[in-house]
Structure formats: C-alpha cells, structure tokens
Amino acid sequence: MSKAVLSLRGISHAFAVDGVAVPALADIDVDVPDGQFVSVVGPSGCGKSTLLSLAAGLRRPSRGVVLCDGEEVTAPMPRKIGMVFQEANLLPWLSAIENVAFPLKLRGVAKPQRLQAAARMLELTGLAGFEERLPHQLSGGMKQRVAIARGLVQDPGVLLMDEPFASLDEQTRMVLGDELLRIWSETRKTVLFVTHSLHEAVYLADRVIVLSARPGRIVDDVDVSLPRPRTFAMTSSERFGALKERIWRHIRRAERP
Amino acid sequence: MRREVSPVRVGQAALSLAILAAWEALPRLGLVPRLFVPPLSEAVGALIADRAAYAGSLPTTLGEIVVAYAIACGGGILVGQLIGAARPARRVLLPVIRAAYAVPLVVLYPVMMVWFGLGAESKIAFAAIYAFVPTVLTMAAGVAALSPGLAETARALGATRAQHILYIALPASLPSLVAALRLGGALVIVGVIVAEMLGAADGLGFLITRHRTLLNSPGVYAGIILVLGMTGAHEVLLRRLERRVAAFRAS
C-alpha cells in the first residue's frame, strides 16, 4: 500500500458552548493512502463535518495532529488540500471561470495563466461553454461542478468534500456522483467525502469510515471491495446490499434513543 | 438603442408635475396662505431676481458639503466595514453607537460653534458627525449580512484577511455601500443647511434664515428650491453609481 497522504492522529475535538466543553470527536486515527477515495458517514451530529474542517485546517483540534504529506496542517493549505462545501459558495459577482480561477488570483497567478487553468478545470467538470455564466444563471448541479473545479484548480493532492451533493435532487446527485468518479479516475486525487447517504458512501468510495454518535469515534472501517468502474447495476448486487447493511447497523444503533 | 418609456416613469413624471401644479395653484386660489407657501412662480421669480446673492452663497455651502461628505461617508464606510466584519466589535460597539445616535445632535451645535467658530468648520463638524453614525450603522449591517459560508470558503481557498476584505467583503457589501452613501449624503446636506440656519455669516442656510426673519417667503422658498436641486443631483449621481454596482450584484 502506498504511503498515507492524509493522516489524522489521535484527534479529539470539543466545542465551547456557553463556557462548557462539548466533545464532538474522540480518538480519531485515520491514515488515507495516496489516491484513495474515503467516505465518512455517521449519525446526524456525529461530528463528521467537524472532522473535515479539522482536516482542512479551518479549525485546530483540541488534541492530536493532522498531517498532509507529512507536514502538520495548522491552517488552510489550498495548494495541497482542496475543499468543496455543501453549498457551492460561489462569489455571485464573478463568472464561472473567474470563480474557478479565484484561488489562483489569491496566490497572485497572472490572469492569462489562471484563466487557462480554470478553463481546463471547467472542461474536466463538464462545463465547457458555460465559462461566462454568472452563478445565478447556473443550476444547483452546475454550481456544484464549478465548486469542484475550483477545488481542483490548484491541483491539490487531497480533495475534501463536505456533503457536496446534499442540497441537490436525487437525479442530479446520481449524475454528479458518476461525474465525480470519472474526474477522480482522471486525476487520482485522495478524496475524503463526508455524506449522510449510505448509498452514496458505498457507491463512490474504496473505504467507508463509520462514526458513532457524538462524540464521534470510529466504530467501523469498511473496505468496499467492489470493482471499478462502478455501475448502477452494482447497486442492486448482494455485495452492495451487504455493505450498506453493515454500515446501517452501526448507524441504527447510534440513532436509537 | 432606444429605451422604452416605462409606465413607472410616466407615473413618476405625472406625480412630479401634479405637485408642482399644486404648489402654483393652491396659494393662488387662497387655499394656502401665501406667507406659508408662496406660488412656485413667485419663488422662482425671487430666485432669479436675487440670483447674485444665491449664487454667491453656493460656493460656501457646497464646499462645506463636500468636506463633510468626505469625512462622514469616507470615515463612516471605513468604520462600518471594520465593525461589521468583526463580531466582537459589532456586539460591543453597535448598541453604544445606536444609543448615542438617539441624542438630538442639534442641541450640541451651539457648543460646536464655540469650539469651531462661526465659519465653515462648525458646519462641517456638525454635518459630518450628524451623518457619520447612520452611515456606520448602514454599512455595518450590510457587512454583517455577508454569508458566513462565503467567508469560510474564502479561508479554505487561502484568502488572507486583507484579501478577504478586498475581494469578498467589499464587493459583497457594495449595495449597502450605496445605501450608506445615499443616507449619509442626504444627511450631510441637511446638516450643513441646518447648521447654517442656526448660526452663520454666509451660505444658503444663512440666506434662507435671513429671508425668513424678513417674512420674505418667496426668498425662503427660492433657497428651498436650491436645496432640492442639491439633493436631486446627489440622487442622480447615486443612481449612476448604483447601476454600475448592479453588475456586481447577486441574483
């Protein structure tokens, strides 16, 4: 197995709510090897989004360290770690291509170069021809494609995705899932993908990490040994069902009052 | 390209004409005493007859407005941005500023005249302070309304604090910046005129007060027409700015 690109070592995290520490995550240890697609699932409020924001360097964990390429993550590292949120969060006054190029602008890349890179990313995400559209002229799925293109434009090794398809309708979700797998197979990024959909988690990933109810601990680490490329037909296979059921048992236990 | 005349525009023009017609007709018909409101034509006549005096007062008044505008709106927008962007500052300062705003500032004007004298400085100080607070409040409210998701995304993309303000907070708050200018600018004009009316040796407000003491109503209204002209011109400039900003606006 190739070496870990992203490592979470002994992570615990607590939030201060009215001066009281509320634990959100406990004793998280994960090593993600280069190029692996990992889904993170868990009951609602288990801290899976918190886990992602810790990995992104948007927060510092109360205990433990996050390592990316062996370097401690203490702040966002946009050149190494790309991020896609549940909401596309595009700048409404910038066109699609300018939104994708925005991280490069922050880094001071000259305009022709950054627009060229952004155009490539829009092509990769299937949005060639929509470069000049403003966000409000794009559908929800297209906005999320722009957000993915923006997350990839600096060619980071790691892509963190926080329920990126959660606010989309079912069909768009399925289409974008397949698109994400195609992009992933072309770019071979290491992906950490938070979702509340067990189906999506199994369908997309090489490996599914299951968290318990708050404070989130890792209760299972499931190897999804389904062949690639994944197809819709696989989702009705016995193996797919067995994997989903195994994960569901953990979640059900946690969700029970 | 020819632009269609919208029904809204027609309505606005009709309403304006109706107001002007009423201004002319009501005093002439004796429905409004001429001392309170002289007919429009008499006010315009007074403006033309005494044009040298009115024109002479404008440089003083406009000069005061420009300086007070720069202080109130420039400073107000800057402070509003800073306060709006920082939650602790917002929570500590905004209630205090709002409370301070409730004090009728005009009672302090005599004190300002003692500090700054009878000249332009006291008018500038009064109008600038008078318009500053609403400008700050409007701007801060606009900045505070910035989506937190956008801010977090910017951070994840590697934006520094300065880049965040320049590329995200500022463009996102442009519509409220126009609103702050609109309010602050109008209040600066009011502030300068009021200050001149309360105590000055020159300026449009001073002229209005002098005509009022002489019970020369057409002279008073001639001055009011000029004030209306100033606020109208200010509004036209802001509309222009607003159109430019509209391009930046979200759906």
Tell me how far CA of residue B239 lies from CA of A21, A110, B188, B242, in angstroms: 51, 34, 18, 5
What pLDDT digit, counting tens, does each position of B155-197 carry? 999 999 889 888 888 788 888 889 999 999 999 999 999 999 9
Chain A residue with Cα closest to B175: A93
Residues of B with CB below 8 A from A93's CB? 171-172, 247-250
Helix B75-85 to helix B174-198 angle (10° resolution) is 130
Q: Are A139 and A126 in contact (CB under 8 A)?
A: no
Residue with tokens 């886990």: A51
Chain A residue with Cα closest to B153: A89
Q: Is A79 within 8 Å of B159 when comparing Cβ atoms?
A: no
The pLDDT confidence band at residue B2, using thresholds 50, 70 and 90, is low
Residue with tokens 């009022």: B212
Q: What is the pLDDT of residue B247?
A: 64
Q: Are B237 and B229 in contact (CB under 8 A)?
A: no
A54 CB near a chain B CB, below 8 Å? no
Q: What is the pLDDT of residue B97?
A: 86
Interface test with A, best of B153, B155, B249 (most A CBs within 10 A): B153
Contacting residues for A254 by C-beta, under 8 A, at least 6 apart: A42, A43, A46, A212, A213, A219
Chain centroid to CA A123: how far? 20
pLDDT at B12 over 70: yes
When the pLDDT of each residue in chain A is averaged and rounded to a whole number, the result is 93
- ipTM summary value: 0.86
Q: Global pTM?
A: 0.75
- Between these two residues, A10 and B145, which has the higher pLDDT value? A10
Share of chain A above pLDDT 90, in %: 88
B248 CB near a chain A CB, below 8 Å? yes
Please count the other Cβ atoms lying within 10 Å of the Cβ belonging to residue A152.
22
What pLDDT digit, counting tens, does each position of A91-132 carry? 988 999 999 999 999 999 999 999 999 999 999 999 999 999
Residues of B with CB below 8 A from A74's CB? none
What is d(CA A182, CA A173) in angstroms, rounded to the nearest whole number? 14
